[in-house]
Amino acid sequence: MKRRTLLACTLATPALAWVPDRSMRLIIPFAPGGTNDIIGRQVAEGMAARMGQNIIVENRGGAGGVLGSDIVAKAAPDGHTLLLGGSGSLVITSFVHRRLPYDPVAGFAPIGMMGSGANLIVCHPSVPATNLRELQAVARAAPRPLTYGSSGVGTTSHAGSAMLALAMGVELEHVPYRGTGPVLTDLVAGRVQLFTNALAPMQQQVESGLLRPLAIAGTARNGASPNVPTTIEAGFGEVQAATWFALFATGGTPPDRIAALHAALNATMADPALRARITEGGVDLETSDSPADFARFYMAERARWGDVVSRARMVAE
């Protein structure tokens, strides 16, 4: 998919071909407190103003995004029920779980991208490592595998850490949670030792020293945390894990409604105030030129992550 970083532009929303006639809802398939929740609530507020209807946000965490996604897949295909989907909750999860209650392609109608961000690899300060090489040495010498938390089985936080373990040639023990918020609670308390996730929800803990950043799993340093080296700089360039966030409707939603939702989404993402709040959290805002353009990107991501899941042998227990 051709993607582009948003440039400053007008906040006016084009006349919509379809206008919702009642309140809408946005399903966020994770517990409150994570990047999905932070972005989703801001986008819902902006789209509601542009579409003239309330958008009620519902957090439905569980099974790495499967529970919340299932609600949208089985909703009426009328554009009133939306999903904040992403690389983990829709793509990776669909390969990790042997059985899903929905079709990950036919069950959803792609609308457009919101943004993406390379994951940050962090550890609890009790882990005697300040970079990935030191972490590799610690993991190899440890009598038992170091533990890493994830926001759910099949999420990018799960896949990113699995990729790291493969690259370092060590065994790490996976501890899944129902969202980023619960992981951070246990990580700060030292009940798990490692986490790979988008920066936004843990930025405060990193800046306060409660968590120690080790590397950015991307090709460039993050402007919100410029002193943290990339995995390429650290000697583990094969570890590339970005979390992206996007909007979907139920599969079979009429094209005119998808087009109206796409127009409202892009206008919302162009709001300078929203842009500032989200980019400060380390997420790069990106939009899709059209729903069809985003659909092509979605299918390409399915091919890429399907290969990663296969190599890492990630399977839901």
Do 210 and 278 belong together in one domain? no
Give me the CATH number covering residue 188: 3.40.190.10
Least confident of 25-29, 129-133, 140-144, 196-200: 196-200
**What integer pLDDT is reported at residue 13 of this predicted model?**
52
Do 97 and 136 belong together in one domain? no
Do 189 and 144 belong together in one domain? yes
1, pLDDT greater than 60: no
Most confident residue range from 4-13, 212-221, 280-289: 212-221
| Beta-bridge mates of residue 231 | none
**What integer pLDDT is reported at residue 132 of this predicted model?**
98
Do 83 and 138 belong together in one domain? no
Do 189 and 179 belong together in one domain? yes
| Beta-bridge mates of residue 201 | none
**Average pLDDT for 279-292:** 89
Residue at 231 is within a domain: no
Look up residue 145 and give its DSSP letter: P
Look up residue 63 and give its DSSP letter: G
Do 111 and 13 belong together in one domain? yes
Residue at 209 is within a domain: yes
227, pLDDT greater than 80: yes
Look up residue 16 and give its DSSP letter: P
Confidence grade of residue 6 (pLDDT, cut at 50, 70, 90)? very low
**Average pLDDT for 76-98:** 94
Do 13 and 109 belong together in one domain? yes
Residue at 79 is within a domain: yes
Do 128 and 76 belong together in one domain? no
199, pLDDT greater than 90: no
Range of the domain at 69: 3-116+244-312
Do 14 and 150 belong together in one domain? no
Confidence grade of residue 10 (pLDDT, cut at 50, 70, 90)? very low
Determine the residue type at 123. Answer: C
CB atoms within 10 A of CB 42: 18
Do 14 and 110 belong together in one domain? yes
Asked whether the beta carbons of 26 and 114 are under 8 A apart, the reply is: no
pLDDT digits (tens, 9 = 90+) for 139-197: 999 999 999 999 888 888 999 999 999 999 999 999 999 888 899 999 999 999 999 99
Phi-psi category of residue 198: left, alpha or beta, with phi > 0 → left and psi -120 to 50 → alpha = beta
Give me the CATH number covering residue 60: 3.40.190.150
Number of domains composing the chain: 2
* Dihedral over Cα of 75, 81, 87, 88: its sign: negative
Instruction: Label residue 100 exposed, middle or buried (CB < 10 Å: 0-12, 13-18, 19+).
Output: middle
Least confident of 38-47, 59-68, 182-191, 265-274: 59-68
**What integer pLDDT is reported at residue 317 of this predicted model?**
63
271, pLDDT greater than 90: yes
Beta strand 3-5 pairing with 284-288: antiparallel
**What integer pLDDT is reported at residue 15 of this predicted model?**
60
SS3 of 304, please? helix
What mean pLDDT, rounded, does the chain reach? 91
